[in-house]
Structures are given as C-alpha cells and as structure tokens.
Amino acid sequence: MSVPTPPAERPIAHVYDAAYTGVPNWDIGRPQRAFVQLLDAGLVRSPVLDVGCGTGELSLFLARHGHEVLGIDLSPMAIRQAKDKANWRRIAAHFLVWDALDISKLRAADLSFQTVVDSAMLHILGDRERDRFIDGLGDVLASGGLYCVLGDARRTEHEIYGITPEEIRDRFREVDGWKVVFFQQTIFERRWSSNTAYFVGVQRQ
C-alpha cells in the first residue's frame, strides 16, 4: 500500500495525544460488539478503511480475520500504539496519521475502499465537520461499498454530539447517491460505562 503525504495536523490532535498517554475510557481493548456482528454477518469486504481508529483494536480484529485494513487517526500517539500492537500480535494491518476530515485526499494515492468502519468518530464532529467528512467519504467509498458507523444516541434535539436516525437519513440521501441499508439501536461500551447508541450501515450507490 503506497503511503500518501498526510495533510496538516489539526490542533485537537494534541488533545487526543494527551488522552492516549493513559488509557481513555472509550478504549476497551477490543472491538465494539456491533462490529463483531457485522463481520459475522459477512458484510465486511476488503479493502477496509477504519476512520478514527484510535489504538487499532477494530482494525486489528478485521485484519486478523483476513481483511486488508488501513486505520487512520489524527493522533500520532494513538497510531504509534496501534503500530506497536500490530507488531506484537504479528497482524498485517496498516496505520497512518491522517485526519478523517481529509479522507478525500487519499484518492491522490489511488486508494478506495469497499468498507469504511467508524467506531464513535462521526458522533463527536461538529455540524460542518460532518458535512466535510461525508463529502470526503463519497470520494473514497467505492460504488456498492458500505459505511458502518456506531455512535452515541443524541440526548436532546439541541445537542450536536451524538447521532439520530433523522440526522442520518437527512445527511445520507438517496438523491445524493446513498442508501441506508440497516439501522439498529444498540450500546456503545466504555471501560467504566456504556451509552445507548445507534449502529448504521449506509451504502454508496
């Protein structure tokens, strides 16, 4: 896999670097159960892009099951830990310091993906950041490819944090070349807690 030059780093990368000097609450040491079920259902196809991969547990899980996986995260600390895990476990996953808001630039390296997995990345983005990410997603997800996102359920209509069924349908419209193929309520597990969440699959037409 050729490695493109990463875009400029966003200042928030340092916030996540600080979190990864310890073990953040969202890093449970294994993939979220929704993605295990996705694999068991045979819905993961290679190559796979894991956006906001953190220390790589989901990427490593999918690679261990035979998939070609690229994990990206804007935190250099998280990517170093992911690469160390891959070396220790002898798993052939690839990791790159890269901002998910700039995934459209991966096309410069002729990279496209059949599956994009998102374990709690979309739900932290601001409104305009979500628009930018989805625009880029359309550039790198192949026709017929599947974007699968797990995110906390939004608690009130006035918050931006979290996701709702209505928002997903508004952002991924069929007229724009998207189709929501599954939508289920589930939980997002953390080390010391869990939240009601939604797990959504959106296909690129």
Characterise 91 by phi-psi region: left (phi > 0), alpha (psi -120 to 50), beta (else). beta
> Is 5 within the bounds of a domain?
no
- Asked if residue 33 belongs to a domain, the reply is yes
pLDDT grade for 54, boundaries at 50, 70 and 90: very high
Angle at CA 202, nearest 5°, toward 93 and 162?
Answer: 85
Q: Is residue 70 part of a domain?
A: yes
Say which CATH number the domain at 186 has: 3.40.50.150
Q: Model confidence over 134-173: pLDDT tens digits?
A: 999 999 999 999 999 999 999 887 889 999 999 999 999 9
Domain count, the chain: 1
The answer to whether residue 96 is domain-embedded is yes
Residue 18 lies in a domain: no
DSSP-derived 3-state class of residue 190: coil
In a domain, 61, yes or no: yes
Q: Report yes or no: 114 and 159 within 8 Å, Cβ to Cβ.
A: no
Residue 89: how many other CB atoms lie within 10 Å: 12
Q: What is the pTM of this model?
A: 0.92
At residue 4 the predicted structure's pLDDT band, cuts being 50, 70 and 90, is low
Domain membership of residue 88 as a residue range: 25-204
Residues 6+ apart with CB under 8 A from 18: none
pLDDT at 3 exceeding the cut of 60: no
Q: Is residue 95 part of a domain?
A: yes
* CA geometry: angle 157, 132, 179, nearest 5 deg: 70
Residue 56: name the closest of 25, 80, 35, 33 by CA: 80
Residue 10 lies in a domain: no
